[in-house]
Structure 1
Amino acid sequence: MAESITTQKPQSGWDKPEPDLSEAQWRSGSRGAGDVQIAFVEGFIAMRNSGRPEKPSLIFTPAEWRAFVINARDGEFDLT
């Protein structure tokens, strides 16, 4: 599925390239909630809101993604 990409000015200090997400293979969470999708593209990990795929995606380096996953597993982002 092709993706529409919104052009946005990078934030100050942004040093990551903008990977081409037009051919990304998006995957939903394993529990079927489907709110967040990820794709592995050009050595980076992209994350988007599946309900608003036209909005910009977050781009993580592998080290950033690893830290995010570890902290999520440890409950750092739990609301309770």
Structure 2
Amino acid sequence: SAQELALDITRQAKELETLIDNLPGLAQTPEDQTHDLELLAQQNAQATEDYEAAVLEARKLLQEITFALREIAVDQSRS
């Protein structure tokens, strides 16, 4: 019915308004938003450095394990 449709539209409008009000950053000034973005960019850069260091360490460990396994295989083939 028309009344149910009107109630549904009203409910959805209220839900939409609540979602908009809860969007991050709307209560911040543009300067605060810029500062937060700069901080996030710094954190992202640090996370990237940490990730790249971890990848290098993992590759080094993989080489060491591969070398050790080859040595074990050679030793076993000589036995």
TM-score (norm: length of structure 2): 0.28
Higher relative strand content: 1
Higher RCO structure, 1 or 2 (CA under 8 Å, sep 6+): 1
TM-score (norm: length of structure 1): 0.28
